[in-house]
């Protein structure tokens, strides 16, 4: 089966840096994705890793270690609008299926 774990909730301060971890156990790994979802809205794509290492995209970076089944999303210079749920998702070769974690709710406080 597929197993994706991420913390349920995190709190951080405006202007700070926060790291959201995701661990996974899957067969046929074919990429790891991070999505942002504001309450009551659809998820929007943030980042994608298929090879080990760090992908940087403005204030957001994502890291992948395939041997450890581990990824993290790093958010810098936090803003109040970053308060949202962050979903980790793994794509597998089997029919391009995506498996999502339950999401990490990030609360950014002033």
Partner 1 sequence: GAGVSQSPSNKVTEKGKDVELRCDPISGHTALYWYRQSLGQGLEFLIYFQGNSAPDKSGLPSDRFSAERTGGSVSTLTIQRTQQEDSAVYLCASSPAGGETQYFGPGTRLLVL
* Span 53-82, contacts to partner 1 by CB under 8 A: none
State the nearest-atom distance from the C-beta of 15 to partner 1, in Å. 28
**Residue 90 and residue 5 in contact, taking contact as beta carbons nearer than 8 Å:** no
Among residues 51 and 110, whose Cβ is nearest to partner 1? 51
Smallest CA-to-CA distance from 72 within 46, 92, 43, 42 is with: 46
Among residues 4 and 12, whose Cβ is nearest to partner 1? 4
Q: Which residue is it, tokens 């994705």?
A: 33
Neighbours of 42 (CB within 10 A): 7
Among residues 19 and 44, whose Cβ is nearest to partner 1? 44
Q: Which of 28, 102, 107, 109 binds partner 1 (CB under 8 A)?
A: 102
Q: Does 107 bind partner 1 (CB under 8 A)?
A: no
Distance CA 23, CA 5 (A): 5
Could you tell me how many residues make up the chain?
A: 110
* Span 13-52, contacts to partner 1 by CB under 8 A: 31, 33, 41-45, 48
């Amino acid at each position: 089966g597929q197993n994706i774990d991420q913390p349920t909730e995190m709190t951080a301060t405006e202007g700070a840096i926060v790291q959201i971890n995701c661990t996974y156990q899957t067969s046929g790994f074919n990429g790891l994705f991070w999505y942002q979802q504001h309450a009551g809205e659809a998820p929007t794509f943030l980042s994608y890793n298929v090879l080990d290492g760090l992908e940087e995209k403005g204030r957001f970076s994502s890291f992948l270690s395939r041997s450890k089944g581990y990824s993290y999303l790093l958010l810098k210079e936090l803003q109040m609008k970053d308060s949202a749920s962050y979903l980790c998702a793994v794509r597998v070769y089997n029919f391009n299926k995506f498996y999502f974690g339950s999401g990490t709710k990030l609360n950014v406080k002033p």
